[in-house]
A and B are shown apart, each in its own frame.
Chain A
Amino acid sequence: MNETANKRRPDSWRTGLVAPLAWAASLALAVSGLSLAGLLTWPQSAVIAAAGVAPAIISVLALAAPRREWAQLLTVFSWTILAMSAVFVTGVVSGAAAWFVAPAVAAMAFPRRALISEASALSLIGLAVMSAMQAFGVTLSPVAGVGGLVVSAAAAAVAVVFASAGILTAWTRNVTQADVAYRAETLESLLNAAQVGIIKTDLEGRIQFASPEAINLFGPQHFEGAPPALRDLPDHLDDRSALTAAMDYALGSGAAETVEIGARRNRRAEVRLSPADGGLNVSVIDVTQRSAREQQAFSDRDAAKASNDAKSRYLAGMSHEIRTPLNAVIGFSDVMKQRMFGPMPARYAEYADLIHESGRHLLDLVGDVLDMSKIEAERYDLRREEFDARDVTASAVKLVKLRAEDTGIDLNVETALSPLTVNADRKALRQIMLNLLSNALKFTPKGGRVTVTTGSKAGDLVITVQDTGAGMTKEELERIGRPYQQAESAAGSEERGSGLGLSLVASLVALHDGDFELESEPGEGTTAYVRLPVLVAATAGEPERMDARARLQKAQEAGERIQRAAAEG
């Protein structure tokens, strides 16, 4: 099926050969006739024949390289020269003008159409030159008299006949064929250069054409005998069935289908099947390297995931192991703290308290690590229930209130007055609240202020925790939410957490499909915003809630009114 592909010479070569030969034959016939009739001497005949045949020979030779410009020009030039010589020899421009058709006819043998107009232009120039010469009386006519006229007329007649025939055949066959051949050759050279293989099949999937790259990709052995079926090209059975399924789909649906299959010698091919008239147009790309890269990426990802899972399991196991001795530390120190077995010296009592406190702190850290590892291992399941978010705020505030008082921080709480019924994981919400609060307290110096608000906005639960602490740089902010990279602030408190607090907040918020944002600048304090789409309809459907501060004010006013009423009553 690639018979044409292997044939280097275009079809135009054959037709291009016929014209000059026909010319040479008719010229020989005319010259011999004239010589026999005594109108030309034999030497004259020989010169005319030689001059006439020369361009024909040049044309034939030039056709061996039909794409070369020099070959094309040489041919056209030789015919132009012949035309001019003919005019010279006959001495009459008007009668010999027909000769100037010859270059254009000769040009038709070549696959470049522009050559015809170039040849015609050249002929016109020649004709103009000859006419100008005649006008100025410059004529040379070695074959003068009756003989010259007869030769001129005969030659012109032959030329006109030949030209008409040439034009007719050229326009109907030669040029079209040359053009088709040229296009075919262009396509062929493109197909040879392309890294895409092209296959054409009939409706049964039998291959009608395959480009060299396609043959190379599936192996030349398939193409040695009768044209193979496309579905038989892959070596492996499952590749064959995948290809067959894709072909059936493409032919059945009329839509293009792409399938990746194995080709020869462990190569992978991406086959795109486009339904076309009477079969499939198939393009084939070697995707061996891409496929290998994908495989590598997959296995890298699996390995990374496995190692991360192992890490998470280890952390989970480890924090469990840590809890067991912590039970003794916290439990015994708790016993001492409660002076269960009687009093002890004050200093020892203080130490016992410190041990207990440190044990509790350590427990919190372990809890953070465990939660983070559970979240990372995607084993943290939310246990949603309905409750009032304000209760969570209240209990979290209660837990840190003492600490705020101890460190001289003004803890300001603004909470919505109506219930904020949410459907969320209570423990997670509490942890979000506690982590934000303890983070704010941790980085706020004595005399600072921490403000926590709990309210609703556009149907979502919104929590903000604002502090007047050290703030964070842009770089530190970027690290938040990336676990295990603690933001280290130069102005930060001595107290250090697991560094997971805000990462945990980010993860727990994400588990609730909410948003978590931090706004901060060094020295300007930090504001944490949490928006959670957890409000249940009854609460969310309430008319637009007023600002927390306004509500607080209203509440205070209401309180005052009640007090006044009570006093008056």
Chain B
Amino acid sequence: MLNAMSKTVLIVEDNELNMKLFRDLLDAHGYETLQTREGLQALEMAREHRPDLILMDIQLPEVSGLEVTKWIKEDDDLSSIPVIAVTAFAMKGDEERIRKGGCEAYLSKPITVSTFIETVKQFLD
């Protein structure tokens, strides 16, 4: 796990318990985490810390995660950072909409721990 120590994941999630779950899971697999529950702050943190991956909740209190993803993808400095959408939006066509919005991957809530870890690793290892 030491080889992953340098990797940082930015978690954008407004639900505290889910935030804790994601953070603990990533911690357990040796990743650094940055956390925010707010879309605008997520953009700022992405600019400041240049994380290796962003876990983006789509339903955020003020700005939608899709909107934030769009800003990130439009920003030349940030567009290379992969974004994994994590959402409880399990409606038909949601996955397509989210992928079109620029997210590299999509995880639906509730997550399966193994799938979650695999998906994250796919972008970091």
Q: Which residues on A are within 8 Å of B, measured CB to CB?
A: 316, 320, 323-332, 334-335, 338, 340-341, 359, 363, 367, 370, 374, 379-381, 383
User: How many whole Å from A96's CB to the nearest CB in chain B?
Assistant: 107
Flag whether B109 is at the interface (Cβ < 8 A).
Answer: yes
**Which of A328, A331, A335 has the largest number of chain B CB atoms within 10 A?**
A331
Residue of B nearest to A360 (CB): B110
The reply to whether B25 and A327 contact each other, CB–CB distance below 8 Å, is no
The reply to whether B25 and A335 contact each other, CB–CB distance below 8 Å, is yes
Chain A residues near B91 (CB, 8 Å)?
Answer: 316, 374
Flag whether B4 is at the interface (Cβ < 8 A).
Answer: no
The stretch among B16-24, B42-50, B75-83 that forms the contact with chain A is B16-24
User: How many whole Å from A20's CB to the nearest CB in chain B?
Assistant: 95
The reply to whether B92 and A380 contact each other, CB–CB distance below 8 Å, is yes
User: How many whole Å from B121's CB to the nearest CB in chain A?
Assistant: 15
The reply to whether A331 and B28 contact each other, CB–CB distance below 8 Å, is no
Please provide the 9 A-B residue pairs with the shortest distance between their CB atoms, ordered closest to farther. Answer: A328-B17, A327-B110, A334-B113, A323-B88, A330-B110, A327-B109, A331-B21, A326-B110, A340-B28
User: How many whole Å from B72's CB to the nearest CB in chain A?
Assistant: 23
Chain A residues near B114 (CB, 8 Å)?
Answer: 334, 338
The reply to whether B111 and A331 contact each other, CB–CB distance below 8 Å, is yes
The reply to whether B110 and A323 contact each other, CB–CB distance below 8 Å, is yes
Chain A residues near B90 (CB, 8 Å)?
Answer: 320, 323, 367, 370
The reply to whether A331 and B92 contact each other, CB–CB distance below 8 Å, is no
The reply to whether B18 and A331 contact each other, CB–CB distance below 8 Å, is yes
Flag whether B71 is at the interface (Cβ < 8 A).
Answer: no
Residue of A nearest to B111 (CB): A331
Flag whether B3 is at the interface (Cβ < 8 A).
Answer: no
Chain B residues near A332 (CB, 8 Å)?
Answer: 21
Chain A residues near B113 (CB, 8 Å)?
Answer: 331, 334-335, 338, 340
Chain A residues near B88 (CB, 8 Å)?
Answer: 320, 323-324, 327
* Interchain Cβ contacts under 8 Å between A and B, 12 examples: A323-B90, A323-B110, A324-B18, A324-B109, A329-B110, A335-B28, A338-B114, A340-B28, A340-B113, A367-B90, A374-B91, A380-B92
A328's contact among B21, B28, B89, B92, by CB below 8 Å, is which? B21
The reply to whether A341 and B28 contact each other, CB–CB distance below 8 Å, is yes
Chain B residues near A374 (CB, 8 Å)?
Answer: 91-92
The number of residue pairs between A and B whose CB atoms lie closer than 8 Å in the complex comes to 65
The reply to whether A327 and B92 contact each other, CB–CB distance below 8 Å, is no
Residue of B nearest to A316 (CB): B91
Residue of A nearest to B96 (CB): A383
A363 to B108, CA, bound (A): 12
Chain A residues near B92 (CB, 8 Å)?
Answer: 374, 379-381, 383
Chain B residues near A335 (CB, 8 Å)?
Answer: 21, 24-25, 28, 113
Flag whether B119 is at the interface (Cβ < 8 A).
Answer: no
Q: Per-position contact with A for B29-73: 1 when CB-CB < 8 Å, else 0?
A: 000000000000000000000000000000000000000000000
For chain A, what secondary structure do more than half of its interface residues adopt (helix, strand, loop), or is it mixed? Answer: helix
Residue of B nearest to A362 (CB): B110
Chain B residues near A363 (CB, 8 Å)?
Answer: 110
Which range holds the interface residue count of chain B?
Answer: 20 to 34
Chain A residues near B116 (CB, 8 Å)?
Answer: 331
Chain A residues near B24 (CB, 8 Å)?
Answer: 335
User: How many whole Å from A4's CB to the nearest CB in chain B?
Assistant: 72
A359 to B21, CA, bound (A): 15
A330 to B15, CA, bound (A): 15
User: How many whole Å from A304's CB to the nearest CB in chain B?
Assistant: 25
Chain A residues near B109 (CB, 8 Å)?
Answer: 323-324, 326-327
User: How many whole Å from B22's CB to the nearest CB in chain A?
Assistant: 8
Flag whether B112 is at the interface (Cβ < 8 A).
Answer: yes
The reply to whether B112 and A334 contact each other, CB–CB distance below 8 Å, is yes
Chain A residues near B28 (CB, 8 Å)?
Answer: 335, 340-341
Say whether, besides A332-B21, A335-B24, A341-B28, A327 and B111 are in contact (CB < 8 Å): yes
User: How many whole Å from A276's CB to the nearest CB in chain B?
Assistant: 58
Chain A residues near B18 (CB, 8 Å)?
Answer: 324, 327-328, 331
Residue of B nearest to A338 (CB): B113
Say whether, besides A325-B17, A340-B28, A331 and B89 are in contact (CB < 8 Å): no
User: How many whole Å from B36's CB to the nearest CB in chain A?
Assistant: 18
User: How many whole Å from B15's CB to the nearest CB in chain A?
Assistant: 6
**Which of B15, B91, B116 has the largest number of chain A CB atoms within 10 A?**
B91
Chain B residues near A316 (CB, 8 Å)?
Answer: 91
A374 to B91, CA, bound (A): 9
Residue of A nearest to B57 (CB): A324
A341 to B24, CA, bound (A): 10
The reply to whether B93 and A327 contact each other, CB–CB distance below 8 Å, is no
Chain B residues near A383 (CB, 8 Å)?
Answer: 92
A381 to B114, CA, bound (A): 30
A363 to B28, CA, bound (A): 26
Chain B residues near A324 (CB, 8 Å)?
Answer: 15, 18, 88, 109
The reply to whether A381 and B21 contact each other, CB–CB distance below 8 Å, is no
A374 to B90, CA, bound (A): 11
The reply to whether A359 and B89 contact each other, CB–CB distance below 8 Å, is no
User: How many whole Å from B82's CB to the nearest CB in chain A?
Assistant: 21
Residue of A nearest to B16 (CB): A328
Say whether, besides A338-B113, A341-B28, A359-B110, A327 and B21 are in contact (CB < 8 Å): yes
Residue of A nearest to B20 (CB): A328
**Which of B21, B93, B111, B114 has the largest number of chain A CB atoms within 10 A?**
B21
